[in-house]
Amino acid sequence: MSDSNTTELSRRIDDIESGYEFLLAYAAQGRRTDKGAGANQSVREFLQKMDTALSDLGKVCLAAAKARDGAKARQYQAFLDALDDDASKAQGVIRLVLSCPDISSQLIDNMNTNVHLRALLTDLFVIDDALKKAG
């Protein structure tokens, strides 16, 4: 993937995946809050990066698909619509968590099991692999 559209998509996928991996580790820490002693990297920073990466993700995926093969991009549309919906719902739960004054490990553990976030991760694995195979 060499053009700017696929590079942007790859960056966003990396931000979402690395954020999720951090969140899995955070959930296992048994923290009551994201503040105070022992707070190494900020869970809020990872959540904010994920939130940014999710904004207009469907459009970024479509642009990357068109850059790979404009004719096939039309075939991807139904999947991209589902991905965009999952991204919007995942972004909603991330923003809900970010609005909390304290972010506990339990809250993150519950967020990690959210069906929309998990669906989004699977969507990203599928689109990333499909686009790599298309070009």
> Domain residues of the chain, as ranges?
4-31+39-134
Work out the number of other CB atoms within 10 angstroms of the CB of residue 129: 10
Model confidence, pTM:
0.90
The tens place of each residue's pLDDT in the chain, 135 residues long, gives: 448 888 999 999 999 999 999 999 999 999 998 887 655 569 999 999 999 999 999 999 999 999 888 887 888 999 999 999 999 999 999 999 999 999 999 999 999 999 999 999 999 999 999 988 876
Residue 74: its pLDDT value, please? 85
Tell me how far apart the alpha carbons of residues 109 and 30 are, in angstroms, rounded to a whole number. Answer: 10
Q: Identity (one letter) of the amino acid at 24?
A: L
- Token readout for 134 is 């298309």
Tell the CATH topology of 4-31+39-134. Four Helix Bundle (Hemerythrin (Met), subunit A) (1.20.120)
Q: How far is it, in rounded angstroms, from Cα 40 to Cα 113?
A: 23
pLDDT value for 40: 57
Token match 């469907």: residue? 58
**Nearest in space to 21 (alpha carbons), one of 97, 114, 108:** 108
